[in-house]
Amino acid sequence: MGVSSAFFCFWGRIGRSQIYRDIPEAFRELIEPVVDERGCELVNVEFLQASQQSKGRGLIRITVDRPDSDERVSIEVCVEISREAETLLDTQEAVPGAYQLEVSSPGLDRVLGREKDFHAAISCEIKLRTKRPINGRKRFRGRLDSFESGVLKMNVDGEEALIPFEEVEKANSIYEFTSVDFAKKSSRRGSSQSGGI
């Protein structure tokens, strides 16, 4: 299946976030070298339907990260990836209709798209949505206790929830603010006040 036909099939599932495992192979083969050349890794892709706000254009949102997730992806790198990826998509006529492309880094509430992201999030608060209901629900929020043999073990409201990785549709870690975050904000505010006229 070529890039264009793979995208056409995929575009039918628009509105869904695709964690790394579910990104169409044709898309990965086209975009991943561009991401790799900038020293980054592809995390996930989200396809959003055209709306009035988007002036009739669909939105493709690509999330990239550094292999060492402690290092941030600069805006300049995101712009470079976006320009080159858009050129490739247009050259291959991979996307039917008008679209807008966004490239971003995971942010505070980090996108969890690969197995390594879930391993890194053990002991952290996460939220996720599953493809199908598990024990009557599709949305889970709680602490990720472990990730072994393809199964996430979460503590959700004091109860254990076992979620197969293959059932995860979208997931994020939840950033926990600490006193250090507020101290940084307060020191910045203090310095700007002292520098006033």
pLDDT tens digits, residue range 56-98? 678 889 999 988 766 789 999 999 999 999 999 888 877 777 8
Decide if pLDDT at 171 tops 80.
Answer: yes
pLDDT of 24 reads 84
Domains annotated for the chain, with CATH where assigned, are 3-104 (3.30.300.70), 115-173 (2.30.30.180)
pTM value is: 0.67
- Separation between Cα atoms, residue 19 and residue 147, nearest integer Å: 16
Q: What is the mean pLDDT of the chain?
A: 81
Q: Are 89 and 102 in contact (CB under 8 A)?
A: no
Decide if pLDDT at 4 tops 70.
Answer: no
Residues 6+ apart with CB under 8 A from 169: 16, 17, 19, 128, 129, 130, 131
- Separation between Cα atoms, residue 140 and residue 153, nearest integer Å: 11
Higher pLDDT, 5 or 193: 5
| 130's tokens | 């599953």
Percent residues over pLDDT 70 in the chain: 76
pLDDT of 8 reads 44
Angle between helices 25-37 and 3-11 (to 10 degrees): 110
pLDDT of 185 reads 53
Decide if pLDDT at 187 tops 60.
Answer: no
